[in-house]
């Protein structure tokens, strides 16, 4: 199936767009064509990005935000998001999002494949969202189920009953099928109402058959607003490859420009890009500052078609409000609203009712911090508590103890105590059956630390619960073991650093099991950085065969570790979270490992 969820509002607009293109709807009459200023109507957008299922208020640094006055305040939580959105909403409001609403989520959401979070967002009135890379964590088929409804094919229905599907549209203009079947184009054209067939067919052939709706249209005060959804082109490098094997993620700018043409074909000139890609910022700035350091997000924001009026972004978990030039020199908004429900981006603007285009000079944006000083929405509070009660028996089950905090903070070499602990657990879980000799864990999969005083069993008791362990490793990746030669393992370790053929964007030190040691040089050229590689104290030779355990994300070449794809003799074992829990069961009291397995030299 191709465009399985094209918006009904876009279908409605197809015939109107044909008339508009012929000058039969939007043309001014002679009496109106004088020097009078054009009449405008107001529109307000309220947007979220990178919510990541944080139904409960996020904790630690994930639950704090620098506000407009430079103060660090507690922020986020579904019930507080709901209150702030209600306070900010009026009759001119549309609520939208920029992806990663689900995936890498706390257990309260993840235990039920994020159905609670998607239901919550529907309750808020979100109408459209770009798809994020984390929406593909469980694969394209599961994303389609979340969009359309139905119970999970393995775990069945949640306690709430059969899933009804998302109440908002997921958009992904740059997600296309690699090998669409013969009916895909026909279905896509039918989804668009069958109008302007030759033009639409030409656009489809320009970049392929979309696997997700590329655009949707919403009406406010009698004018249509078109939304284009985009996801970072790097998605194949940061999600498990098997789940997206039939998809291609094309250049965001190219896809946005084609989608803009598609909207123009049906007369929609007020156009907003929702893009799951963004930039880093100068730390400690106001969320309303233009602190973004130009990068991939800025490239998209400045290069997409000048017809597009604003770019609301995500992915980098930062907050900024910038004005950037479009290709014709016009000014347009480029913004992002942090992450985890801590910021709502409010954008007010006027639309000319004659041209149906955004009056760019009227655009006013404000990043509103979701403080916890307001009264939490009672209905959403009850909703969250219901799911909290449902997951409590699983979340609160003790799995072991720690003697002190075990952090995911990197040492000077880049390894961490928690990364070592996870890798040791993965090695133990894959020795029998997989014959693993060493294990490697991607640092991005270690989402938070374990605190001695952090469990609900009591202050300072060192108990680790399943819920805490899941917060550390929320992806439900599969443990796998592959055979690499010594030379291939060394290449994997070289691929931790920038400068190689995989274009690693920044150094990503894989977390090693305790029996793997090596040295790397900060000053050596790429390809010659790693030396003194040993397993159990024995030198690794280029020609020997080594059984290496890693999660299926890494084995599939994730995070640009493409040397894993040259491996052989694949074996699959338990889920990573189950391996972690089993390690606690086998070692009921764990002392933080010392992260001293990697030596750094100049």
Q: What is the pLDDT of residue 4?
A: 40
How many Å apart are CA 85 and CA 214, to the nearest integer? 26
Q: Are 360 and 40 in contact (CB under 8 A)?
A: no
* Across 235-262, average pLDDT: 94
pTM, rounded to two decimals? 0.85
Higher-confidence position of 14 and 478? 478
**Mean pLDDT score across all residues of the chain:** 90
Confidence of residue 461 (pLDDT cuts 50, 70, 90): confident
pLDDT at residue 205 greater than cutoff 90: no
Which has the minimum average pLDDT: 12-16, 355-359, 459-463, 584-588? 12-16
In this structure, how many other beta carbons lie within 10 angstroms of the beta carbon of residue 222? 9
Q: What is the pLDDT of residue 33?
A: 41
Q: CB burial class (10 A; 0-12, 13-18, 19+) of residue 509?
A: buried
Phi-psi group of 140: left, alpha or beta (phi > 0 → left; psi -120 to 50 → alpha; rest → beta): alpha
**Contacting residues for 274 by C-beta, under 8 A, at least 6 apart:** 47, 96, 97, 98, 99, 128, 129, 130, 171, 227, 228, 229, 230, 312
Residue closest to 77 by CA, chosen among 346, 495, 407, 388: 388
Q: Are 546 and 434 in contact (CB under 8 A)?
A: no
CATH superfamily of 40-378: Metallo-dependent phosphatases (3.60.21.10)
Per-position DSSP letters for 520-549, written without gaps between them: EESSSPTTSSEEEEEETTEEPPTT-EEEEE
Q: What is the pLDDT of residue 21?
A: 30
Q: State percent of the chain over pLDDT 90.
A: 82
pLDDT at residue 395 greater than cutoff 80: yes
Enter the tokens of residue 37.
Answer: 């200023």
pLDDT 10s digits, 290-344: 999 999 999 999 999 999 999 999 999 999 999 999 999 999 999 999 999 999 9
pLDDT at residue 436 greater than cutoff 50: yes
- Delimit the domains of the chain by residue range: 40-378, 398-600
pLDDT at residue 144 greater than cutoff 60: yes
CA angle at 10 for the pair 8 and 14, rounded to the nearest 5°: 120
Enter the tokens of residue 150.
Answer: 């139905």
Q: What is the pLDDT of residue 37?
A: 58
Residue closest to 571 by CA, chosen among 554, 548, 543, 544: 548
| CATH code for the structural domain at 398-600 | 3.90.780.10
Q: What is the pLDDT of residue 61?
A: 83
């Amino acid at each position: 199936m191709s465009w399985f969820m094209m918006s009904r509002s876009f279908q409605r607009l197809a015939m109107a767009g044909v008339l508009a293109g012929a000058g039969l709807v939007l043309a001014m009459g002679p009496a109106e064509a004088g020097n009078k200023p054009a009449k405008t109507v107001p529109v307000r957008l309220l947007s979220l990005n990178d919510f990541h299922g944080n139904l409960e208020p996020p904790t630690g640094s994930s639950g704090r935000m620098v506000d407009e006055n430079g103060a660090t305040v507690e922020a986020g939580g579904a019930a507080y998001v709901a209150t702030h959105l209600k306070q900010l909403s009026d009759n001119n409001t549309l609520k939208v999002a920029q992806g990663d609403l689900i995936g890498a989520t706390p257990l309260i959401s993840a235990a039920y494949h994020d159905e609670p979070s998607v239901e919550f967002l529907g309750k808020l009135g979100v109408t459209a969202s770009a798809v994020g890379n984390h929406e593909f964590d469980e694969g394209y088929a599961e994303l389609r189920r979340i969009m359309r409804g139905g119970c999970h094919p393995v775990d069945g229905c949640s306690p709430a009953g059969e899933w009804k599907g998302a109440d908002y549209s997921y958009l992904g203009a740059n997600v296309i099928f690699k090998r669409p079947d013969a009916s895909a184009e026909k279905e896509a054209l039918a989804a668009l109402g069958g109008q302007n067939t030759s033009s639409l067919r030409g656009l489809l052939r320009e970049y392929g058959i979309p696997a997700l709706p590329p655009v949707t249209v919403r009406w406010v005060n009698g004018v249509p607003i078109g939304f284009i959804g985009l996801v970072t082109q790097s998605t194949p490098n940061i999600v498990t490859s098997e789940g997206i094997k039939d998809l291609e993620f094309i250049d965001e700018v190219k896809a946005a420009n084609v989608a803009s043409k598609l909207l123009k074909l049906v007369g929609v000139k007020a156009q907003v890009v929702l893009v799951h890609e963004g930039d880093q910022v100068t730390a400690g700035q106001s969320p309303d500052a233009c602190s973004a350091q130009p990068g991939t997000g800025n490239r998209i924001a400045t290069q997409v078609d000048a017809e597009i009026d604003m770019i609301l972004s995500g992915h980098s978990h930062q907050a900024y409000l910038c004005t950037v030039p479009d290709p014709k020199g016009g000014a347009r908004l480029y913004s992002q609203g942090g992450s985890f429900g801590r910021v709502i981006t409010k954008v007010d603007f006027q639309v000319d009712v004659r041209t149906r285009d955004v009056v760019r000079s009227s655009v006013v944006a404000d990043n509103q911090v979701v403080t916890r000083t307001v009264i939490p929405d009672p209905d959403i509070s009850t909703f969250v508590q219901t799911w909290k009660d449902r997951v409590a028996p699983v979340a609160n089950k003790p799995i072991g103890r720690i003697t002190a905090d075990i952090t995911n903070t990197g040492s000077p070499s880049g390894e961490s105590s928690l990364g070592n602990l996870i890798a040791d657990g993965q090695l133990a879980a894959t020795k029998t059956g997989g014959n693993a000799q060493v294990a490697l864990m991607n640092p991005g999969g270690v989402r938070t630390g374990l605190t001695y005083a952090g469990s609900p069993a009591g202050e300072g008791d060192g108990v680790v619960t399943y819920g805490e362990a899941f917060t550390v490793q929320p992806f439900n990746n599969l443990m796998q073991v592959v055979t690499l030669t010594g030379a291939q393992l060394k290449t994997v370790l070289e691929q931790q650093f920038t400068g190689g053929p995989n274009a690693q964007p920044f150094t990503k030190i894989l977390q090693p099991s305790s029996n793997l040691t090596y040295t790397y040089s900060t000053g050596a050229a790429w390809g010659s950085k790693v030396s003194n590689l040993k397993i159990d104290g024995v030198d690794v030779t280029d020609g020997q065969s080594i059984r290496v355990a890693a999660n299926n994300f890494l084995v599939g070449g994730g995070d640009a570790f493409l040397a894993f794809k040259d491996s052989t003799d694949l074996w699959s074992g338990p889920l990573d979270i189950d391996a972690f829990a089993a390690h606690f069961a086998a070692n009921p009291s764990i002392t933080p490992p010392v992260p001293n397995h990697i030596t750094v030299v100049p």
